[in-house]
Amino acid sequence: MITVLITFIAIIANAFGRRFAGGLLGQWFGNIGGSQVGRLVQAFIVGLTVTALAPVWWWGLVAVPLAFLGATAGFPTGMIPKSWLDGLGLVGHGLMVVAPLALGAWYVGLDWWWLVGAGVLRSPAYWLATRYVPHIPQLGLISVNTGNGQMYDPPPLAEFYVGGLLGYALVLTVMV
């Protein structure tokens, strides 16, 4: 039962962490100093997750800069998959995002492939987020399109999805 609770908290916390990095903090508080501040908050949530789960507390300290490094990976085009090439690009981007954490996990002997799996699943998560966006303005989920038929890029719901995937992958990486 406690494992289920820890898993649930890790998924929700990291879903919000990724959404914070995607602009939710700025939406809530106005100018927070740029997107790097949100990415740093996401990295701290990853670090807290690892600290709570790992057998050695300081692994969480190491996870913070690794998560921040991954969160700063740029993407040259839009993040709405319109073709299989876009989807493939999102897989590559997902792998770039999780690579620092996966390398750290590999170095300390953890099951790093769960993190790689979360990176690969970035593409289907972004595709799924284009299918339906609930109207929850407080979470930045405002509408399906910007008014001219174009989706928000990146879709805010996708940020929740990929953050939740990262949280679940962290649980599996550290606890399994």
Q: Where are the domains of the chain?
A: 2-175
Closest CA to 161 of 139, 138, 137: 139
Percent of the chain exceeding pLDDT 70 equals 91
Q: What contacts 122, CB < 8 A, 6 or more positions away?
A: 90, 91, 93, 94, 97, 162, 165
Integer Cα distance of 106 and 100 in angstroms:
10
Confidence of residue 129 (pLDDT cuts 50, 70, 90): confident
Task: Report the candidate in 46, 72, 58 with the shortest Cα–Cα distance to residue 173.
Answer: 46
Q: Read off the pLDDT of residues 133-168 as tens digits, 9 standing for 90 and up.
A: 777 888 888 655 555 555 555 678 899 999 999 999
What pLDDT is recorded for position 67? 96
Question: How far is residue 41's CA from residue 56's CA, in Å, rounded to a whole number?
Answer: 22
User: pTM higher than 0.85 for the full model?
Assistant: yes
The residues that bridge with 136 in the sheet, in sequence order, are 141
Q: Between these two residues, 33 and 49, which has the higher pLDDT value?
A: 49
Q: Which of 29-43, 58-72, 90-104, 158-172 has the lowest mean pLDDT?
A: 29-43
pLDDT digits (tens, 9 = 90+) for 54-93: 888 899 999 999 999 999 887 766 677 778 888 888 999 9
Task: Report the residue count for the chain.
Answer: 176
Q: What Å distances lie between residue 159 and 47, 80, 94, 166, CA to CA?
A: 18, 12, 12, 10
